[in-house]
Amino acid sequence: MSDRRSERRRWLAAHLRREKARLALGATAMSMRAAVLLLLPWPLKFIVDNVIFRKPLGSWAAAVLPDPAMHRLLLLHALGAAMLGLGLLDAGLAYLGNRWLLDAAQRIGYSIRREFFAHLQRLSLGFHRNHLSGELASRLGGDVNALQDFVAAVGVDLLPHLLTISGILAVMLAMNWHYGLMTLAVAPVLVWIARHFAAEIKAAARRTRKAEGEQSGATQEVLSNVQLVQAFAREDHEDRRFEERASTVLAAALRSNHLQAAFAPAMNLAIAVATGVIAWYGATLVIRGALTPGDLLVFLAYLRAIATPARQIAKAGRVFGRAAVALERIEEYRAVVPSIADAPDALVPAHCAGRVELDGVSFGYAADAPVVRDVSFELQRGRTVALVGATGSGKSTIAGLVARFNDPDFGQVRLDGRDLRQLSLRYLRSRIALVPQDPLLFHAPVWANIAYGRDGATRRDAIEAAIAAGVDDVISSLPGGYDLVVGERGSTLSGGQRQCIAVARAMLSEAAVVILDEPSSSVDGVTEQRLMRALRRLAQDRAALLIAHRLATVVDADLILVLDRGRIVQRGTHERLLADGGLYAESWRANGLPGAPAPLRLVAAS
Q: Which stretch binds Mg ion (CB under 5 A): 57-65, 393-401, 463-471, 499-507?
A: 393-401
Name the residue nearer to ligand ADP (CB basis): 283 or 569: 569
* Rounded Cα–Cα distance for residues 153 and 326 (Å): 15
Q: Which stretch binds Mg ion (CB under 5 A): 21-29, 166-174, 390-398, 425-433?
A: 390-398
CB of 397 to ligand ADP, least distance (A): 3
Name the residue nearer to ligand ADP (CB basis): 391 or 491: 391
95 binds ligand ADP (CB under 6 A): no
CB of 503 to Mg ion, least distance (A): 17
Cβ atoms of residues 397 and 360 within 8 Å: no
End-to-end CA distance of the chain: 64
The Cα-based distances of 550 to 15, 267, 288 in angstroms read 54, 74, 105
CB of 545 to Mg ion, least distance (A): 12
* Rounded Cα–Cα distance for residues 72 and 57 (Å): 10
The Cα-based distances of 131 to 137, 218, 265, 330, 553 in angstroms read 11, 11, 41, 14, 36
Rama region for 132: left / alpha / beta (φ>0; ψ in -120 to 50; rest): beta
270 CB-near residues (< 8 Å, 6+ apart): 186, 189, 190, 193
Name the residue nearer to ligand ADP (CB basis): 396 or 509: 396
Rama region for 222: left / alpha / beta (φ>0; ψ in -120 to 50; rest): alpha
371 binds ligand ADP (CB under 6 A): yes
Name the residue nearer to ligand ADP (CB basis): 390 or 450: 390
The item of ligand ADP, Mg ion, none sharing an interface with residue 449, based on CB under 5 to 8 Å by kind, is none
Cβ atoms of residues 439 and 501 within 8 Å: yes
The item of Mg ion, ligand ADP, none sharing an interface with residue 391, based on CB under 5 to 8 Å by kind, is ligand ADP
Q: How many CB atoms lie within 10 A of CB 289?
A: 7
DSSP-assigned letter for residue 545: E
CB of 339 to ligand ADP, least distance (A): 13
CB of 13 to ligand ADP, least distance (A): 37
**Per rule CB under 6 A, count of chain residues that contact ligand ADP:** 11
192 binds ligand ADP (CB under 6 A): no
The item of ligand ADP, Mg ion, none sharing an interface with residue 365, based on CB under 5 to 8 Å by kind, is ligand ADP
Query: Which CB contacts under 8 angstroms, 24+ apart, belong to 12-16?
Result: 12/147, 12/327, 15/108, 15/111, 15/112, 15/115, 16/108, 16/151
Query: Which of 53, 110, 365, 442 is in the footprint of ligand ADP by CB under 6 A?
Result: 365
396 binds Mg ion (CB under 5 A): yes
Interacting positions 380-399 with ligand ADP (CB under 6 A):
389, 391-397
Closest chain position to Mg ion (CB): 396
At 562, is the secondary structure helix, strand, or coil?
A: strand
Interacting positions 447-476 with ligand ADP (CB under 6 A):
none
Q: Which stretch binds Mg ion (CB under 5 A): 10-18, 212-220, 349-357, 437-445?
A: 437-445
Name the residue nearer to Mg ion (CB basis): 147 or 563: 563
* Rounded Cα–Cα distance for residues 495 and 489 (Å): 11
Q: Which stretch binds Mg ion (CB under 5 A): 267-275, 392-400, 418-426, 462-470?
A: 392-400
Residue of 461, 415, 5, 39 lying closest to 449 (CA atoms): 461
CB of 233 to ligand ADP, least distance (A): 28
408 binds ligand ADP (CB under 6 A): no
Say which amino acid occupies 502: A
CB of 7 to ligand ADP, least distance (A): 30
553 CB-near residues (< 8 Å, 6+ apart): 386, 519, 520, 528, 532, 546
* Rounded Cα–Cα distance for residues 493 and 231 (Å): 18
Q: How deeply is 172 buried, as exposed, middle or buried, from its count of CB atoms within 10 A (0-12, 13-18, 19+)?
A: buried
The item of ligand ADP, Mg ion, none sharing an interface with residue 394, based on CB under 5 to 8 Å by kind, is ligand ADP
3-state secondary structure 358-372: EEEEEECCECCECCE
CB of 542 to ligand ADP, least distance (A): 21
Q: Which stretch binds Mg ion (CB under 5 A): 19-27, 160-168, 348-356, 435-443?
A: 435-443
**Per rule CB under 5 A, count of chain residues that contact Mg ion:** 3
Residue of 77, 79, 88, 78 lying closest to 36 (CA atoms): 88
The item of Mg ion, ligand ADP, none sharing an interface with residue 393, based on CB under 5 to 8 Å by kind, is ligand ADP
Name the residue nearer to ligand ADP (CB basis): 22 or 395: 395
Interacting positions 119-138 with ligand ADP (CB under 6 A):
129
**Sites of contact with ligand ADP (CB under 6 A):** 129, 365, 371, 389, 391-397
**Sites of contact with Mg ion (CB under 5 A):** 395-396, 437
